[in-house]
Structure 1
């Protein structure tokens, strides 16, 4: 049951059909009372539009603007609930036919809510299966290569040639990366090893540290499950003779509802975890390059903001950063709340942590590069791309911009742009041949 695919048309289309048939059944059995149904449909649609505007645009409950799919389906759900309410009110309790109407009306409500929720989920691509929606992950523990630690004389990727027994696919799995220095209580990370990392005499490979966003269900597994990153990385490796970066997907949150903002502060020492504990584990366990030019920090949404922050603050750790749909700086939604909870009320510390200010203060960046992307239809985060790009270029960073066609603030955009960012990084590190 937990493996049931929630994005499949084979599930959604029958559900939509049943929902419509139940709604039509309510209307048909009370067909002499069609005017109240018409009023309910219109009123419900207007109520849905109002709710989308209030919670999505005014109160900004989820931190992202609703898409047109979100708005339309909210209206549809409210309209169908309106039909159900009319059915319950107009149906009596004595006649057998009217009892059927009441049953259908009661059933219509959860069907409408479920249809709308799954349609919105399909648009965002957040929960591919029931297990994902329940917060369960079926990522197996990572089996490290037999000789995981780098040795003296490790082959540089530029001089490596694929052996005859090169695996067709890479390997991924979960690992525990302890917060020995930061004392950050991170959830298990996910690591992807390309085919080139799985053979004897594996080359020394560049590393991408890739972060998911923050919000309901947020976890490193989102990157491979909603973003389909393993399949994307396998395709990249197949085009380059088994070569691709090692991709480490750590937890920068501790919990989906927490947001330490990739800083060291009262909400957790996330920055130290990502810049010290994670690299230490990678160097000790994998054939990874130690040069800053061969390390990139990448992320989507809140993870994209983190990539901007850490790329600007730690150029000696991350020579490249990939910012997909990030914000201009660390935030908990409201500036006052951000300063109070994240910076103990210290506005000066808050302002000093803004990455655009860091870029200006630490310029020039002589060896840094950035890939900055967003969805072309993302009205909230898309306009941030040119602002960040201009500030980075002014500081000396080599910038590549990308707008993903037909993309919003969703995992379609994230998966596409993060994969393109990996290939961009491969060209930068001469891994792409």
Structure 2
């Protein structure tokens, strides 16, 4: 049974109820004196508490999406296979070109059909969500993802069209399930398309870390995981090899919540030639080491320099500012990053950047707040991305 499956949650809940009933039944028989009855009572209490705690933890994980699979929970990181195909550098893309040996490989979904917004009906009417893993040629990373394909992707009049891309990044320790289910990105995409408030867009949903359970924060760690390389080089290459998506950066944007929002801002300011549009929901403006990240910047003379390079306030003051479009979202009450967000917006003014804000009067660092913000964020980003881009009429090479 999957870690987030309802069958596992119901099974453990049933076992917890049995444990409670068993303890009530056996407790009078353990009322005697001596070591054995005492050990029996302690064992009954421990077993009951563990079973109840297991139900609570499974329910919280299923709702928030901290860990999507048993392998993520146990820290088993998938390794990139040796059999990797070269990227298709030209010509029209197939409608969907996922393959077992490609840079985008199909996988089994994690209860995708139960997520809000999961397409039900013909693909050319409602679109589709693909469960895949993305193979990083340079980073040697393998990152599970959901890819949302809008209904227009399957329609005849768009069969030679490249679509814009939104890369939606979860917080830590969330993952693709958090973006799809808790942030409701597919649900909002379907609604915005129906209301004609968003262009048809391919959306890829994934986690910011490429070395779970370590929080790599979209940083190229010296002698460690190359998360920035994965997002700026491997991910665009893989998506272009399998889907009809834009070749030019004007059709690419990245958004995220919490540490995923931090990642989005970092990618836009550090790699504007890849992601010139970014949106951050409750993200931070600098990256720091903590227990989950470990040492992200290495040691020696270069360590402090690398750390400064990931401080966006420092970059605004000391680096040429690229002409990117950014959206930052926060709340006046309930969000710790409100002052930092206001400081960033003030510092960005007059720097040649296009900066927009969503400021709620009251909110929290959680999905209840981000669900209020994500629809308008996607609408804003869609206005910034170029659509359509025609596909070159040349034969595919493989």
**Which category describes the TM-score, using the shorter chain as reference length?**
0.5 to 0.7
Instruction: Report the Cα offset of residue 296 of structure 1.
Output: 0.8
Q: Which residue is equivalent to 2:261? A: 304
Q: Which residue is equivalent to 2:358? A: 402
Q: Does 1:213 align with 2:153?
A: no
Provide the rounded CA distance (Å) in 1 between the counterparts of 2:162 and 2:54.
48
125, 133, 136: which one aligns with 2:64:
125
Q: Which residue is equivalent to 2:119? A: none
- 1:190 is paired with a residue whose SS is strand
- 1:201 is paired with a residue whose SS is helix
- 1:380 is paired with a residue whose SS is coil
Cα 1:219–1:102 shift into 2, 3 Å: closer
Provide the rounded CA distance (Å) in 2 between the counterparts of 1:312 and 1:223.
23
Note if contact 2:128-2:150 (Cα within 8 Å) is conserved in structure 1.
yes
Superposed CA offset, 1:189-236 (max 9, x none): 321111111212324322111212233xx4333321333322232222
Q: How does 1:337-416 map to 2 (within 5 A)?
A: 338=295, 341=298, 346-366=303-323, 368-374=324-330, 378-403=334-359, 407-416=363-372
Q: Which residue is equivalent to 1:232? A: 188
Provide the rounded CA distance (Å) in 2 between the counterparts of 1:135 and 1:405.
40
Instruction: Report the Cα offset of residue 102 of structure 1.
Output: 7.2
Note if contact 2:131-2:147 (Cα within 8 Å) is conserved in structure 1.
yes
Instruction: Report the Cα offset of residue 272 of structure 1.
Output: 2.2
Q: Which residue is equivalent to 1:110? A: 50
Q: Does 1:323 align with 2:280?
A: yes
- 2:365 is paired with a residue whose SS is coil
Q: How does 1:199-278 map to 2 (within 5 A)?
A: 199-202=155-158, 203-215=161-173, 218-240=174-196, 243-266=199-222, 267-278=224-235
Note if contact 1:125-1:410 (Cα within 8 Å) is conserved in structure 2.
no
Q: How does 1:129-208 map to 2 (within 5 A)?
A: 146-147=94-95, 167-180=124-137, 182-202=138-158, 203-208=161-166
Provide the rounded CA distance (Å) in 2 between the counterparts of 1:338 and 1:134.
21
Note if contact 2:282-2:365 (Cα within 8 Å) is conserved in structure 1.
yes
TM-score, normalising length: structure 1: 0.62
Provide the rounded CA distance (Å) in 2 between the counterparts of 1:246 and 1:101.
57
Note if contact 2:134-2:145 (Cα within 8 Å) is conserved in structure 1.
yes
Q: CA RMSD in A?
A: 4.7
Instruction: Report the Cα offset of residue 286 of structure 1.
Output: 2.6
Q: Which residue is equivalent to 1:157? A: none
Cα 1:343–1:219 shift into 2, 3 Å: farther
Note if contact 2:132-2:144 (Cα within 8 Å) is conserved in structure 1.
yes
Provide the rounded CA distance (Å) in 1 between the counterparts of 2:175 and 2:238.
20
Provide the rounded CA distance (Å) in 1 between the counterparts of 2:175 and 2:311.
25
Q: Gaps spanning 5+ residues in structure 2: where?
A: 76-91, 98-121, 389-398
Superposed CA offset, 1:72-130 (max 9, x none): xxxxxxxxxxxxxxxx9xx5459xx99998787455423552465367558x6336999
Q: Which has the larger radius of gyration?
A: 1
Instruction: Report the Cα offset of residue 320 of structure 1.
Output: 1.1
Matched pairs, number: 342
Q: Gaps spanning 5+ residues in structure 1: where?
A: 31-87, 137-143, 150-164
Cα 1:241–1:380 shift into 2, 3 Å: closer
Note if contact 1:327-1:381 (Cα within 8 Å) is conserved in structure 2.
yes
Q: Does 1:280 align with 2:220?
A: no
Provide the rounded CA distance (Å) in 1 between the counterparts of 2:206 and 2:72.
20
In terms of fraction of residues, the more strand-rich structure is: 2
Provide the rounded CA distance (Å) in 2 between the counterparts of 1:318 and 1:232.
22
Superposed CA offset, 1:214-267 (max 9, x none): 33xx43333213333222322222222984321123554223212333233322
TM-score, normalising length: structure 2: 0.67
Higher relative contact order (CA 8 A, sep 6+): 2
Of residues 328-337 and 386-395 in structure 1, the stretch that sits farther from structure 2 once superposed is 328-337
In terms of fraction of residues, the more helix-rich structure is: 1
